[in-house]
Amino acid sequence: MRAFSAILLINVILLAGCDKVDEPIPPGQTNNGGGETVKRRALLEEFTGHRCNTCPAAHAVAANLANAFGDDLIVVGIHATDFFAAPVNPQASNGSYSTDFRTPAGSAYATSFSISFLPTGLVNRAPFNNSTTISSGNWSSAVAAIIAQDAACDVWVSQFTHNAATNTVSAEVKVAVLTTISSSLNLTAYLTEDHVVDWQLNSLVSPPDVSDYDHRHVLRTNLNGTWGETLIASDAQAGDTLTLSWNNVPVNANWNAQNFALVAYAYNTATNEVLQATERKLVP
């Protein structure tokens, strides 16, 4: 199936009510049911900006990848850099580009990973062709390389809720250790919002200023800080199951909770490489 998806992808590129609780997903069942060996999922952190006129072309690449790879790929849109993602100053009379899509975490990642141009991306924060920052033309190959590998651990979201009365979210993430891990791992939890309609500069259309652009998978906030928190201090054994949770984290009242998703990933703190990631939508 993955081989077929990759071939299909190449051809494509060429040519506020009640709280919602997601049911727990046991390890290895998020994309590898039937007792198969758990494979790594790919996390594409797409660095973008609403004033980056070449970014919509990369958005299209990410959308095609998501369709082709399915649950094996998780996409997060990180709006970064003051030039491309900050509001215009002075503000335009029609209100265009007045939204500040930046987050403290996204700005820190742009600095730490030396994001010097947009669009670009990180795929599991692993080097591809000797570079951690990867152009959109290489995202497909980088993703395919990651998901072909066996996973050292699996990550899944066992609970994810939104309290409409207090406008807070709570979540629980579990990690199953599949092979002995002799390194320090952190786990980071993102809250994303899909289908954020706002302005976007787009060189693919005329006029290029699009007022109702559909921004996908937008990073809104981190539930547990920019770099997450300790998951494994030094080592863990196969068969261990680890749990982290966060309760009543406030969210912006202007965000649409119906489009929330939780993205969680475990990464090696020495190399920053993401070992495993998962995503759960608040409303499936």
pLDDT tens digit sequence for 89-135: 999 999 999 999 999 999 999 999 999 899 999 999 999 999 999 99
Instruction: Using pLDDT thresholds of 50, 70 and 90, give the confidence band for residue 9.
Output: very low
Enter the pTM of the model: 0.88
The label of the residue with tokens 């990464």 reads 267
Handedness of CA 63, 83, 226, 219 (dihedral sign): negative
CA distance 57 to 6: 19
The label of the residue with tokens 């199953």 reads 176
Instruction: Using pLDDT thresholds of 50, 70 and 90, give the confidence band for residue 12.
Output: very low
| Closest residue by Cα to residue 160 from 45, 89, 59, 264 | 264
Give residue 116's pLDDT.
Answer: 86
CA distance 153 to 268: 12
Instruction: Using pLDDT thresholds of 50, 70 and 90, give the confidence band for residue 23.
Output: very low
Residue 27 has pLDDT above 50, yes or no: no
Give residue 193's pLDDT.
Answer: 98
- Rg of the chain's alpha carbons, rounded to an integer? 19
Instruction: Using pLDDT thresholds of 50, 70 and 90, give the confidence band for residue 221.
Output: very high
What is the set of domains in the chain, with CATH numbers?
2-15+19-281 (2.60.40.10)
Task: Fill in the amino acid letter for 256.
Answer: N
CA distance 200 to 2: 33
Kindly report the average pLDDT of the chain as a whole number.
90
Quickly count: other Cβ atoms within 10 Å of residue 163's Cβ.
14
Pairing status of strand 42-48 against strand 120-123: antiparallel
What DSSP designation does 88 have? P
Q: Mark out the alpha helices in 50-138 (DSSP H runs).
A: 55-69, 82-85, 104-112
Quickly count: other Cβ atoms within 10 Å of residue 254's Cβ.
7
